[in-house]
Structure 1
């Protein structure tokens, strides 16, 4: 069964279509989709004199995680992030100390959720949807995960990480990890993410996908590429669309 969908921002038909039937699993990205990275801006302000450097560093983290995967290499997300902090320091002529790196590492483990996330997840859970997470961040065997710190872990059946397959999203191995781990076809998985590169990767692996357009994010209007099946400004708005489609 295919559904033509609309985007709430424009009311125009969405270019994407459902690949299969009703999604049985909602797969959530964590970083920026659920967790608020901008909570670290004050740390970057303290170290670099400009909180906007956080965005520069995060963009490098996304780019170089993809680079090492495409190059057939592997390094842990935190180790890569620490090296990139030193690189960004060199770019800006700022000495990044080991103490700075440790402070940012701890902050990455304890970031808060976006304020709209818990209401949106509650609506989806109450509607009976299965929910898991898939993140590029590693697990934390020595303590609580970022989701646990943010008070969100209880919403999710399982927490998947790209470190299991040693390939970062948007590599198809990461998305197949979830489908294989849950023993469901990829076509029954629906990716929820704040980044188009993540929705494109998921759809290329056989998922359907929804984009949350958090500040700094928007659909990519290149119609030869997969377009998000749903687009919303925040998670409650996405939940409303999803429930209307599959629970009404």
Structure 2
């Protein structure tokens, strides 16, 4: 398949450029250092299931919009209760663990290389405040970073991808959405964006029915393909 002609790149952040579960695991271990790995994974799953469920409810109109900060606070409270932790300060610290996420090894160099040729837009379900902190912590460099908070919804709601279309001033077919989550790319496709899948250990792999414009091994491979 020939590489698409594009004017700008739109990047998912959580999972695609930073290891979100690793940051939350670190927060859970700090909350209760006595937990074994199975216990950490159980509490991580509790956090993730809560956030995913509540984001679905917001998209469906079953719950009024609330930011990722508040969803993380709810998830942290559930995890703390399950761990038997009662210190409010510890719960608040745990809630902020979603802002201290390590980048993948190829992230910084890959973004720098791609930024030499294309405008880069970050598009995240994280709130504006959280996005600022996690960008700084992970050393992410953008030409523009957009939060789903401005659409008062969550990906894969088309309204979130429309933020990138409006900010770029380009038609959607001239934008390339890059993500490690097939569900995210499907959402972008619905609005007409081109798509590039980059695998990550915490991502959502494509199914046999998915048809994305590009499949790259990592950001270096993506830069090489787009540089041809």
- Which TM-score band (shorter chain)? 0.7 to 0.9
TM-score by length of 1: 0.78
Aligned to 1:221: 207
Report how far residue 33 of structure 1 moved. 1.2
Instruction: Tell me if the contact between 2:122 and 2:146 (Cα under 8 Å) persists in the aligned partners.
Output: yes
Q: Which residue of 2 aligns with 1:192?
A: 178
Counterpart secondary structure, 1:51:
helix
Q: In the alignment, which residue of structure 2 is the partner of 1:9? A: none
Instruction: Give yes or no for the alignment of 1:87 onto 2:78.
Output: yes
Given candidates 132, 157, 167, the residue that maps to 2:121 is 132
Q: Provide closer, same or farther for how the CA distance between residues 84 and 210 of structure 1 changes in structure 2, counting only shifts above 3 A.
A: same
SS in 2 for 1:118: helix
Match of 1:25 among 3, 8, 18: 8
Q: For residue 75 of structure 1, report the CA deviation from its aligned partner.
A: 0.7
Correspondence 1:15-54 to 2 at 5 A: 22-37=5-20, 38-47=22-31, 49=35, 50-52=39-41, 53-54=43-44
Q: Cα gap change, 1:44/1:93 in structure 2, threshold over 3 Å: closer, same or farther?
A: closer
Deviations 1:39-67 (CA, angstroms, capped at 9, x unpaired):
33232134362332324422432332122
Q: Retained in 2: the 8 A contact 1:214–1:233?
A: no
User: How many equivalent residue pairs?
Assistant: 220
Q: Distance in 1 between matches of 2:92 and 2:147?
A: 22
Structure 1 residue ranges without an equivalent (≥5): 6-17
Pairwise CA RMSD: 2.5
Q: Which residue of 2 aligns with 1:232?
A: 216
Specify the alignment match of 1:8 in structure 2: none
Aligned to 1:14: none
Q: 1:220 to 1:56 in 2, by over 3 A?
A: farther
Would the aligned equivalents of 2:173 and 2:193 in 1 still touch at CA under 8 Å? yes
Indicate whether 1:112 and 2:102 are aligned. yes
1:94 to 1:197, Cα distance in 2 relative to 1, 3 A: farther
Post-superposition CA distance 1:201-228 (Å, at most 9, x none) = 11111111112211143533252xx432
